Amino acid sequence: MGITGIKRLLLGRPLANAQASEEKIPKWKALAVLSSDALSSTAYATEEILIPLAAFGALALTWSVPVAFAIVSLMVIVTLSYRQTIQAYPNGGGAYVVANENLGPLAGLTAGAALLFGYLLTVAVSVAAGVGAVTSAFPEIAEHRVLLGGAFIAILTWLNLRGVRESATFFAYPTYVFIFSLLALIGFGAWRIASGDVPHAAPILEPVSEAVPLFLILRAFSSGCAALTGIEAISNGVPAFKHPSAQNARTTLVWMTLILGVMFLGITAVSHAYGITPQAAETSISQLARSVFGTGPWYYLIQVATALILILAANTSYNGLPWLAAVLARDRYLPRQLAVQGDRLVFSNSILWLSGASFILLALFGGDAHSLIPLYAVGVFLGFTLSQAGMVVHHRRERQPGWRTGLALNLLGAVTTGVVFLVVGVTKFQDGAWIVALVVPLIVALFRKIHLHYLCVGEELTLSHVDAPPHLAPMRHTAVVPVSGVHRGVIDALRYALSITDDVRAVYVEIDAAAADRMQKEWMRWGHDIPLVILKSPYRSVIGPLIEYLDDLEQTATREAITVIIPEFVTRVWWHNFLHNQTAFMIRAALLFRRGKVITSVRYHLRAG
C-alpha cells in the first residue's frame, strides 16, 4: 500500500463538496447541530457566576439567581436582534460580513479578528470544560488534564481530516441526550426540593444580600455571559435550512433560546437551592448531579452527555473557521489560497492550524476552562456589538418594510451588547480580557498588511495601463547541469538540456581528487561534446562552488537566461527519498533568492525498491 493507500485508509475518499453544500437539513436536526455550541455553555456558565460570588462569601450566593435572570433577559434581546439579521442576510450573516458591509472595513476586520480568535477559544474552552466533566467523574486522571485535552483535540483533528460533516445525523443525538438529561436533572432536583427531601434547601427566590458590592455583581454577570457564546451560530448557518430557510431559521433560533434559557435558569436555581459552591476539582454540574441522583448511572449519563456536547461544540469551529478564512481570503485579507476550498490540502492546513493553536492555548492555561472563559466572552460580545451595530446602519440604508421595528430591536441589541462588552472588558481585564485587547488589534494589523501587499503586487503586475501587448520574444539560454557522476540518472537531464539550447555545460564538484580523475576519464567516453566543468571545493562543500560558478557565469554570459537543470530521482518507496535528492534540495534552496535563474527538475524514476 503506497502513501495514497494509507491516506485513503486514514482520511477516507475525497468528498464531492459541491454536492455536500446542496444538502438541506430539517429543523430538528439544525437545532441539534447549530446549537451545540450555545447549549453546551450551560455546562460551565452557572459555575462561572458562582466563582466570583463564592469568593466573597456564602451571603453573596443569594445573587446567583437574579444574575441568571439578567443574563436570560440579555439572551432574549440578542435573540430578537439576530432574528433581524437572519431576515436581512439569508445567505448567512456572520459578524464579519455584516460589519464589513455596513460599518466599513475596519469594523469588519475587527469582527473578523474577534471571530477568528473566538474559533480557537471555542475549541480550547469546550475541550477544557469537556475534560472537566470527565475528571469530575474520574478525579484520578485530573493531573493529566492537558494530555486528555490533547487527546480530544487529536480525535477532532482526525475526524475532520477524514471529512466528517457537521450535518452528519449522528452528531444530532448527543445534543438531545444532553438536553434530556439536564432537564431530568433540573426536574428531579426541583421535585426533591418540593417534596421536602433536601434538608437544608435554600429558597430559590430568597432576598438578596445588600452587603455585596456592585462591582462583584457585575463580575458575576460578566462571567455568566459565557452562557451566550455560540448563540449566533444559527444566523450564520441560514443557508443550511430547508425552504423557507429564513423562516425556519428564525423559528429554530427562538426554540434554541427557549431551551437555553430554561436550562441555564433551571441549573442555576437548583444549584442554589442545593447549596452548590464551586470546587477546583469538580464541576458544579457534577456536584449537583451527585447531590440529586447520587453517584449512579444517571450521574454518569450526565457527565458523558456533557463531555460529548462540549466536544461537539468544539467541532463547530472546524466547520466555521475554514468558511471564515475563505471569505477573508476572497477579500484578500488572508493568503489567497485559502479561498480555494476545493483543494483538500488547503482545508487540511486550516484544520491543523486550528488544532495546533487551540492546543497551545489549552496548554498555556493548564487545561483550565475557567481561566480561558474571560478571553472567550469578551471576544464574543465584541462580535455581537459590531454585528448589531451593522444591522442598525443596514436598516437605515435599506428601509425595507418594517424597518423601524427592526432598527429599534437592533439598536437595543447593539447598545445592550455594547454595554455588556464594556462591562466584561473592564471587570475581566486582569483575568485575561487584556489578551484580547492585544491579540485582536494584532490580527487586524496582519490582515491589513496582507491586504496592502496584495494591492501592491496587483499594481505591479497589472497590464491594464499598458497599451501594446508585451513582446514575447524567445530567450537565448545557457543550460547548466550539475552531475554527480556518469550514470543513467543524468542522461535524461543532459538530453533535455540539449533539446532546449546548444550551450550546455555539465558541472562536477570535486571533493576527492581521485574520484574527479575517474569522472574526467569516463566523461571522455560518455559525455559526447558537452564540456565538463570541474569545480574545486577547498571546504568540501558541494553547494558553495556551484553557486559561485553560476554567479560568475551570469557576469560573463552573453545569453539572456541561465537554466539550472537538476537531475532528481523519484523513488518507489517514499522514505527512500531521504536517501536521494538532498543535494538537489540544497541547490534549490540556495538559488531561491537569486535572480534570473530558471530551475528545472528532470526526474529519473528508479525501479529499485
The interface with a second copy within residues 226-255 (CB under 8 A) comprises none
Residue count of the chain, please give it.
Answer: 609
Minimum CB–partner distance for residue 602 and a second copy (Å): 5
Between strands 597-605 and 561-570, the pairing is parallel
Alpha carbons 499 and 15: distance in angstroms, whole number: 42
Single out the residue of 158, 176, 403, 454 in contact with a second copy (rule: CB under 8 A).
454
* Total residues in contact with a second copy, by rule CB under 8 A: 83
Binding positions for a second copy, 331-350, rule CB under 8 A: 335-337, 340-346
The yes or no reply on residue 500 touching a second copy (CB under 8 A) is yes
Which residues have a Cβ under 8 Å from the Cβ of 550 and sit 6 or more positions away? Answer: 480, 562, 564, 591, 594, 597
Minimum CB–partner distance for residue 597 and a second copy (Å): 8
Which part of the chain contacts a second copy (CB under 8 A), choosing from 123-131, 202-210, 234-242, 534-542? 534-542
* Structure letter (DSSP) for residue 487: S
Binding positions for a second copy, 118-177, rule CB under 8 A: none
Which part of the chain contacts a second copy (CB under 8 A), choosing from 109-117, 169-177, 290-298, 459-467? 459-467
Alpha carbons 411 and 385: distance in angstroms, whole number: 10
Nearer to a second copy, 345 or 438 (CB): 345
Nearer to a second copy, 375 or 443 (CB): 443
Give the DSSP H or E segment for 396. helix 369-398
Nearer to a second copy, 209 or 349 (CB): 349
Query: Cβ(341)–Cβ(326) under 8 Å?
Result: yes
Nearer to a second copy, 498 or 553 (CB): 498
**Residue linked to cell 464551586:** 278
Nearer to a second copy, 200 or 607 (CB): 607
Give me the 548-567 binding string for a second copy, x by CB under 8 A, dash otherwise. -------------x-x----
Q: Which three cell numbers stand for residue 589?
A: 534552496
The yes or no reply on residue 456 touching a second copy (CB under 8 A) is yes
Give the three-state DSSP class for 242: coil
The yes or no reply on residue 408 touching a second copy (CB under 8 A) is no
Cite the DSSP H helix spans in 15-63.
17-22, 27-34, 36-40, 45-56
Minimum CB–partner distance for residue 605 and a second copy (Å): 5
Counting Cβ atoms within 10 Å, is residue 549 exposed (0-12), middle (13-18) or buried (19+)?
middle
Minimum CB–partner distance for residue 433 and a second copy (Å): 29
Minimum CB–partner distance for residue 541 and a second copy (Å): 4
Minimum CB–partner distance for residue 547 and a second copy (Å): 11
Q: What is the DSSP string of 150-168?
A: HHHHHHHHHHHHHT--TT-
Nearer to a second copy, 7 or 397 (CB): 7
Minimum CB–partner distance for residue 135 and a second copy (Å): 21
Minimum CB–partner distance for residue 358 and a second copy (Å): 20
The yes or no reply on residue 450 touching a second copy (CB under 8 A) is yes
Opening angle at CA 536, ends 507 and 560, nearest 5? 40
Single out the residue of 457, 515, 531, 536 in contact with a second copy (rule: CB under 8 A).
457
The yes or no reply on residue 13 touching a second copy (CB under 8 A) is no
Nearer to a second copy, 209 or 583 (CB): 583
Closest by CA position to 335, among listed 454, 161, 456: 454
Give the DSSP H or E segment for 480. strand 477-482
Which part of the chain contacts a second copy (CB under 8 A), choosing from 144-152, 307-315, 385-393, 597-605? 597-605
Binding positions for a second copy, 507-526, rule CB under 8 A: 511, 525-526
Query: Cβ(157)–Cβ(135) under 8 Å?
Result: no
Alpha carbons 495 and 483: distance in angstroms, whole number: 13
Binding positions for a second copy, 461-490, rule CB under 8 A: 461-463, 469-470, 472-477, 486-489
- φ, ψ of residue 297 to 5 degrees: the values are -55, -40
